[in-house]
Structure 1
């Protein structure tokens, strides 16, 4: 049975999945344009990480960072290569959106890359209502970054 649960970034399989995520981000974008968080950063206050598992097997992960009392940012969305295209990312995205709503956020933001490698992520986010937006938080305009946001107001 597929379950989403709170996760520790240092757990061995999560650490490996996130390491692959960082490696891919650095392969796609210049270092100054990589905004993926390492496991230490994912342990910081204000950031919550979840995993998606099936019978204990890690399928993916995603994190929510509080930007302000009414806004959050999606971080570290990653699906294991073997299960891409099977809805794991969509399941995590819905979980993050529902959690953000329960927390009282009215806006949910994200930053992702602009290269073709990121096209599946762009489609997923747009399918769930995210739209392009200007840089938010500490981000600055960057040709390698696409900024998106979703209004959560009901």
Structure 2
């Protein structure tokens, strides 16, 4: 994310943060080769609120439905946990346009900053009511 966004606008979790007990992590791999295709993480803020974190798809996997599959698994887990709102922060730069389009396609609506986030011209916030 540091290659595409100013440092003060990067909210990606490092490996140590992804290992925290409040984080659940998913990966998608090619069934034949085992190649890592995509990842996603869920940070649970409360019994009713969770945040989608660290969604990434490898360049080779883009356009193959990997991100939608990972997102679907995360949304299903949120519903199973009784979470009522799934929120996320993503970049406002053109680089993030495909991600923003995918979230909108899956019913996420642009919303205000949440949790510790603040207004940032380099960020766009989304919410999905579950």
- Shorter-chain TM range is over 0.9
Deviation at residue 57 of structure 1 after TM alignment? 1.8
**Is the partner of 1:86 in helix, strand or coil?**
coil
* Structure in which a larger fraction of residues adopt helix: 1
**Is the partner of 1:112 in helix, strand or coil?**
strand
- TM-score of the superposed pair, with normalisation by structure 2: 0.96
Q: Does 1:30 align with 2:6?
A: yes
- TM-score of the superposed pair, with normalisation by structure 1: 0.81
**Is the partner of 1:99 in helix, strand or coil?**
helix
Q: How does 1:1-154 map to 2 (within 5 A)?
A: 25-55=1-31, 56-152=34-130
Deviation at residue 143 of structure 1 after TM alignment? 0.3
Deviation at residue 29 of structure 1 after TM alignment? 1.2
Root mean square deviation of aligned Cα: 0.7
2:91 and 2:5 map into 1 onto residues whose CA distance is: 7
Aligned to 1:5: none
For 1:85-120, what per-residue CA distance to the aligned partner results, in whole angstroms no more than 9, with x for missing partners? 110001011111111111110000000000000000
For 1:35-71, what per-residue CA distance to the aligned partner results, in whole angstroms no more than 9, with x for missing partners? 0001110001110111001222211110000011111
For structure 2, the 5+ residue unaligned runs are none
**Is the partner of 1:126 in helix, strand or coil?**
helix
For structure 1, the 5+ residue unaligned runs are 1-24
